[in-house]
Structure 1
Amino acid sequence: MLRGNPDIGVYNALPRGCELCRLGGKLVVYITGECGDNCYYCPVSTERFGKDVMYANEAEVKSLYDFIYEAYRMNAAGAGITGGDPILAIGRLTKLIRLFKDEFSSDFHVHLYTSGRYVTNDVLRELERVGLDEIRFHPVKEDYLKAVEKALKFRFDVGIEVPSIPHEKEFLERIVEWGVKKGVKFININELELTERNYQSLNVQGYRVSHGLTGVKGSAELALSLLRKYESKNVALHYCSSVYKDVVETRTRFLRIIKYSAKPYENGTPEGTIVRAIVKSNSDLSDIGEKIGEGMWSISPDFSSHFSEVVLVEEHPDQRRLRITEKLINSKT
């Protein structure tokens, strides 16, 4: 039976990595932007794609230990490692997985995304040795399924995760049928997203947004039809929409960051943002806030009525501190 809401369909059990993402418990690890494939629909931003850069959640980092710090900030229960293709940074990748396991114990769940292009038996042995829990393949070519078959001989969970591209229905059906036949543990089908980087390539093929902010028309319908077609098979099938990723997964991760690392003067909202007040004062306000500049203080909005001019700001709680709104309040008038 299909479970969930219209933005997330599930047959059988969710992969452990997905369960933790739904709870906002996964640190998002971008280990490298380098990739040997150049998929026309790739949603990765221009700032990241093809570049050997690293990001912990939304913040660029320079050291593997920065990932440990960010995991502590949100009290992460695991990490999802993506790219690019992380296998191109195999030394860095295996060291990071080992760091996670040593720091947080073997229960810290780590899943990994790869196309399979560079996956060999030696690579798989190294990933097994350092404790990888789950590997997800995006076989952009059917030839890459050879890597999935190799992975099935190892101890970690093996799944397939592909975008639902409306004009590639037959290819998707072959991938799903292959996965069912070979006994992969799960198959995830994601809604195709139109982004700043891929919109020209998708527009040329007639794709337009029709679901949420980025979901491509026809993608959700194809994904759900595949789930219904193969529901009787002995494999976990899962559809995840762009709306669900933004409204649920990202929001719950932000709420988790707020819970574990918001400062006392930052008020969390149900939407996963923080609100704080900025005031001018020559007095010492360290009991209710933090100095952020000469004569400038960041304080809780709860104390804003004590000041004549207050700027209320709403921001994302991650390290970028992306500002959503800014409002000047004259509380003494």
Structure 2
Amino acid sequence: MDVIYEAYRMKALGAGITGGDPILEIGRVIEIIDKLKNEFGSDFHIHLYTTGRYVNDDVMKELVSAGLDEIRFHPVKELYLNAVKIALKYDIDVGLELPAIPNEGDKIVRLVKWAEENNVKFVNLNELELNARNYLNLNSKGLHAKHGITGVEGSFDTALDVLKKFEEDKKITVHYCSSVYKDLVETRTRFFRIIKYNSKPYEEYTNEATIVRAIVKTNHKIPSLENFGEFNGSNEYSVSPGIIKDLLNEYTDLIDEIYIVEEHPDSRRLRVGEKLIYSKSKNS
């Protein structure tokens, strides 16, 4: 399974299952939990996110039996809090995930108090984010991004007001997660783990935890280039950006183009940047 491969690549200590709502694919979810637990042992922590809409006793029995450690509810309707009560009957950690919607602080406080009264372990307040799917809807409601950031203006202030009300509370833990933290800390930390255990000698990395390499394109076979990197096929070699000047001094007549590319380090290798730095046709 790809998830097993990816977990090995980064020496993961746990995994989160999200969607959509994963409960709609409960069979696949159970299969993933089983395989992860069988491969990495019972200490491999697995949590799952759900709205709660499709959670019932049968679902909870399957999840707990498979080894799920934690379930986090994002109750888009208060009706779905009934699913939280169902989950609380089982030997599993239960938490709430709530968006910090500006001017809805009173509603959030009420939900946190409900969670406290029902022995929910924690509540995570998430900064409301603008994205390609929701920005028209949010903008129509007067919600706009802070300058240069995807987080919605006023979301942090709303979350802060809620946190202050519960800062002395010992019965429930309330966290806040900003959009910047998710993007710059969680994702970057995961990428750095992948880089630490999987980067190749010719690959360099940035402070944003992306991989940088040079791609040398040539219509000639240059076996000695493999001493500095590797042959990708299709007349391409991957080498360190630091040796480009030396390569051009030695193989100018054989090299057609050189690109610097920047990619995510996970198995998808999403390319986030590409720059042509040498072209024989343009330099001749």
Give TM-score scaled by structure 2 length. 0.89
| Mapping 1:184-199, distance limit 5 Å | 184-199=120-135
Q: Which residue of 1 aligns with 2:180?
A: 243
- Which structure 1 residue ranges, 4+ long, deviate > 6 Å from structure 2? none
| Mapping 1:310-329, distance limit 5 Å | 310-329=258-277
Q: Which residue of 1 aligns with 2:252?
A: none
**Counterparts of 2:105 and 2:174, CA distance in 1:** 16
Structure (1/2) with the larger helix percentage:
2
- Which of 133, 140, 144 is the matching residue for 1:204? 140
- Which of 257, 264, 278 is the matching residue for 2:201? 264
Q: State yes or no: 1:77 paired with 2:16.
A: no
Q: Secondary structure at the match of 2:146?
A: strand
Deviation at 1:212, TM superposition (A): 4.9
Q: Which residue of 1 aligns with 2:251?
A: none
Q: State yes or no: 1:232 paired with 2:168.
A: yes
Deviation at 1:106, TM superposition (A): 0.7
- Which of 250, 270, 273 is the matching residue for 2:210? 273
Q: Secondary structure at the match of 2:185?
A: helix
| 1:163–1:212 distance in 2 versus 1, CA, 3 Å | farther
The structure having more radius of gyration, on CA atoms, is 2
Q: State yes or no: 1:180 paired with 2:116.
A: yes
Deviation at 1:211, TM superposition (A): 5.8
Deviation at 1:118, TM superposition (A): 1.0
Deviation at 1:133, TM superposition (A): 0.6
Q: State yes or no: 1:288 paired with 2:239.
A: no
Once the two structures are superposed, residues 107-152 of structure 1 have per-residue CA deviations (whole angstroms, 9 ceiling, x without a partner) of 1110000111111111111111111111101111222111111211
**Counterparts of 1:194 and 1:254, CA distance in 2:** 23
Unmatched runs of 5 consecutive residues or more in structure 2 = 249-256
**For the Cα contact (< 8 Å) 1:80–1:112, is it kept in 2?**
yes
**Counterparts of 1:283 and 1:131, CA distance in 2:** 52
**Counterparts of 1:172 and 1:235, CA distance in 2:** 14
Give TM-score scaled by structure 1 length. 0.76
| Mapping 1:116-127, distance limit 5 Å | 116-127=52-63
**For the Cα contact (< 8 Å) 1:314–1:324, is it kept in 2?**
yes
Give aligned pairs, total. Answer: 269
**Counterparts of 1:243 and 1:217, CA distance in 2:** 13
Percent identity between matched residues is: 59
Q: Which has the higher contact order (CA 8 A, sep 6+)?
A: 1
**Counterparts of 1:212 and 1:129, CA distance in 2:** 45
Q: Which residue of 2 aligns with 1:61?
A: none
**For the Cα contact (< 8 Å) 1:315–1:321, is it kept in 2?**
yes
Unmatched runs of 5 consecutive residues or more in structure 1 = 1-64
